[in-house]
Amino acid sequence: MGSFVSGLTGKKTNVEFKKTDVEPDLPESCQPEIPSGWQFDDATGEWTKTTECNCRFEEMKREANLL
């Protein structure tokens, strides 16, 4: 980001981010959608596959006899 601002202004920049313990309040359009067949474990910070993926991509491959 610093190089972007420097490129715009032609001056040396120092970008600092303020640390906060508060999660930003994002609008609904920016909320993540959990992928079908997956769940996020807050305790471990990892994604795990829960079921067979019912994604449209998998459906399309099946229809095209690629699976």
pTM, two decimals, is 0.33
Residue tagged 């305790």 (tokens): 43
Q: What is the 3-state secondary structure (H, E, C) of 3-50?
A: HHHHHHHCCCCCCCCCCCCCCCCCCHHHCCCCCCCEEEECCCCEEEEC
* Tokens (6 digits) for 64: 């095209």
Residue 7 has pLDDT above 60, yes or no: yes
pLDDT tens-digit map of 28-54? 888 777 777 888 888 998 888 886 655
Domain ranges of the chain: 34-67
Given this model, what pLDDT does residue 37 score?
A: 80
Q: In the predicted model, is pLDDT for residue 57 greater than 80?
A: no
**Quick one: pLDDT at residue 32?**
76
In the DSSP assignment, the letter for residue 1 is: -
Length of the chain: 67
